[in-house]
Structure 1
């Protein structure tokens, strides 16, 4: 009996002296439990004294049937106390989790989640020394979040969560670096979320640095993941070729990510400022996937004094200016925008490129008196250079527009 025991002990020590075998066993068990194919090609390591620690490299997680890549990471560190191991799942306390260069495909993740059988409420682990992510990436449809760094000091099911996040949202023509602090009322599916920090949409030559504050409630249902009751306020500055235009922006509505697309189907917008910034309110939709789609209907409260003066009687009217804006194209808003704008019985229907119009406003008085747009203007009466024109119909042409 002693000889058999010693032989089994020697075999166990030999087996545990090979970290890759330990890693393969743990990944196989995790994969079976989650119905995922989890492998690690890189050298693995573990520690058994003090607390148990396992380091796995070149981790790849796939959906078994389609072989779609859900997640990959250069390195995964998992450290947990022996009491958690001895509890056999009754205790979900983990000391620390670290991820180096993880890449997550959101569409593949949602497809896997949809294939899972219904289950009860998920149990939330406790991370006593937190979660640390460096050089992470999230892949969407036509956009990515890159260079993600996350520092979450503590995760406890019964306590609020606080984290520091840095990274960069990127599409073909737009970059949005961000550095924010976030908090959850609790780590639960319907928890309240608050985010505050700096971000800077940029597409040279222009940039839009801002300090933003966001609040909302987490949402996860058949229509996607996102936020309910989202409210976002931002103090921003439009910068282009030495021109600084400060303004304040407010957004409100339910935010969803579904089928690779991120956006609002019911969006409220408010914008106000000074100088060339109009005061407006509107409602519509904003979707971001392989293209940016924006449809907004609302009203300018007044014609900004810094804009080129309107001819009488439009300049004497105090009526708001209803508008309809429709855009589909690159995320930097450089493609063609459809615009309808009216005041009283005067109406303009046309097309424009926003960067060209902004450049024209910046240089008004030094270049053409006519804005770079295309369309049709109709008015019952206009007074121009001392002459009164009735039944006015004007066609605008811009050779730069396709």
Structure 2
């Protein structure tokens, strides 16, 4: 072998060894992890860091586990996401593309905490159309997650998304528990999003079970609308729900429909909406318009008309009970989300008017005892009834002005 040939082979061997050493150095987890996180952060306009590296694999499809992940908008004090553990499986083609291609096999997050306000701030500052959606061929799995809202949280999040890709419908399953001001509500929902990362149609369907101290309200629901991401709003939102109120031996079934613009920047706010309630027994049927809000508390402001006087309510004296006139009403509530505070009802038929303040579940319990013939004949409420004429026990009363005063129901500012 000539000297020139030996030198060429030696040079090639040195280059191969140097390349292998360089590749080994680049693919060490303490260097690979920041590189991968940096590529993802640059593509999304975020700072993504990790405090620790766990297992990694380079044979076949590279896999990496990092711990103590923090995701924040550059310069922001509050992270929009932190997570105890993140698993990412990324094909070699993505590594070679150095962030130009956002394709991965699978993403798993353990105990992530998502700050909704920080996310909305980042989203609002993104130029239109610039947010890049990665492709995850084997989907996303989240366990023990938490979303922090304004006065409310969504905890114990278990999320499964089998596949994620830009401009393709997104489907998944969510289990979680909503908590706010004394109310907790486990949810189990399937969801569908027409275009992830873009405005478009969204649908949810499944079971939610709001719970108070001594009552439960299992609800089967379907919600659809047009998602406006930058405004944190659903346009043309339509909700259909079949529910059953359960307290002790009491069972009261009803259906609820609602439609209108639904904002979720600060809790859930359905303003200037239309509502339809169809009940049985002690739950009335009605149609109304107004507002409904759920966040660090519950607000309700409805004006509408009862379809009729429920049979389980105390019978109206004549001539009021014989009238077929409309029953317009106004209902307002501002208090804790478990409905433990005072509601205000204004009800009218012809020239008779009734204003009352009450706690909903106390009145529901009273109606149950009334049907059994035990308990007080007077409802647990404070209010005033005025009527030009009323017949009671065969006597005709003129200019009726009746006042009820329950010391346990003080006046409040929730009047419609």
TM-score range, shorter chain: over 0.9
Higher deviation after alignment, 266-275 or 151-160: 151-160
SS in 1 for 2:316: coil
Q: Where in structure 2 are the equivalents of 1:316-395 lying within 5 Å? A: 316-364=322-370, 365-395=373-403
Within the alignment, does 1:128 sit opposite 2:137 as a pair?
A: yes
Inter-partner Cα distance in structure 2 for 1:291 and 1:133: 28
Inter-partner Cα distance in structure 2 for 1:311 and 1:181: 49
Within the alignment, does 1:228 sit opposite 2:239 as a pair?
A: no
Inter-partner Cα distance in structure 2 for 1:230 and 1:114: 22
Within the alignment, does 1:245 sit opposite 2:245 as a pair?
A: no
Which residue of structure 2 aligns with residue 102 of structure 1?
Answer: 112
Alpha carbons 1:23, 1:44 under 8 Å: kept: no
Change (3 A) 1:244 1:144: same
Within the alignment, does 1:166 sit opposite 2:175 as a pair?
A: yes
Q: Where in structure 2 are the equivalents of 1:3-402 lying within 5 Å? A: 3=14, 6-7=17-18, 9-17=20-28, 19-31=29-41, 34-116=44-126, 118-187=127-196, 189-221=198-230, 224-258=231-265, 260-364=266-370, 365-402=373-410
SS in 1 for 2:374: coil
Alpha carbons 1:281, 1:298 under 8 Å: kept: yes
Alpha carbons 1:36, 1:61 under 8 Å: kept: yes
Quote the offset at 1:210 in angstroms: 1.9
Higher deviation after alignment, 35-44 or 362-371: 35-44
Change (3 A) 1:188 1:35: closer
SS in 1 for 2:339: coil
Inter-partner Cα distance in structure 2 for 1:59 and 1:102: 9
SS in 2 for 1:271: strand
User: What stretches of structure 2 of length at least 5 have no aligned partner?
Assistant: 1-10, 411-416
SS in 2 for 1:69: coil
RMSD: 2.1
SS in 2 for 1:366: coil
Alpha carbons 2:65, 2:86 under 8 Å: kept: yes
Which residue of structure 1 aligns with residue 8 of structure 2?
Answer: none
SS in 2 for 1:164: strand
Alpha carbons 2:170, 2:192 under 8 Å: kept: yes
Change (3 A) 1:91 1:34: closer
Which residue of structure 1 aligns with residue 5 of structure 2?
Answer: none
Quote the offset at 1:56 in angstroms: 1.3
SS in 2 for 1:400: coil
Inter-partner Cα distance in structure 2 for 1:263 and 1:192: 19
TM-score by length of 1: 0.92
Residues 31-62 of structure 1, C-alpha deviation per residue, up to 9 Å, x if partnerless? 45545443212333332221122221111223
Quote the offset at 1:68 in angstroms: 1.1
Residues 369-389 of structure 1, C-alpha deviation per residue, up to 9 Å, x if partnerless? 121111221111111111111
Inter-partner Cα distance in structure 1 for 2:45 and 2:193: 29
Alpha carbons 1:59, 1:73 under 8 Å: kept: yes
Higher strand share: 1
User: What stretches of structure 1 of length at least 5 have no aligned partner?
Assistant: none
SS in 2 for 1:108: helix
SS in 2 for 1:203: coil
Which residue of structure 1 aligns with residue 6 of structure 2?
Answer: none
Residues 52-100 of structure 1, C-alpha deviation per residue, up to 9 Å, x if partnerless? 2222111122344341131111111121222233344454332111111
Inter-partner Cα distance in structure 1 for 2:402 and 2:269: 37
Change (3 A) 1:349 1:132: same
Larger Rg: 2
Residues 279-329 of structure 1, C-alpha deviation per residue, up to 9 Å, x if partnerless? 101111112222221111111111011111011111101122111111111
Quote the offset at 1:158 in angstroms: 4.7
TM-score by length of 2: 0.89
Inter-partner Cα distance in structure 1 for 2:356 and 2:279: 25
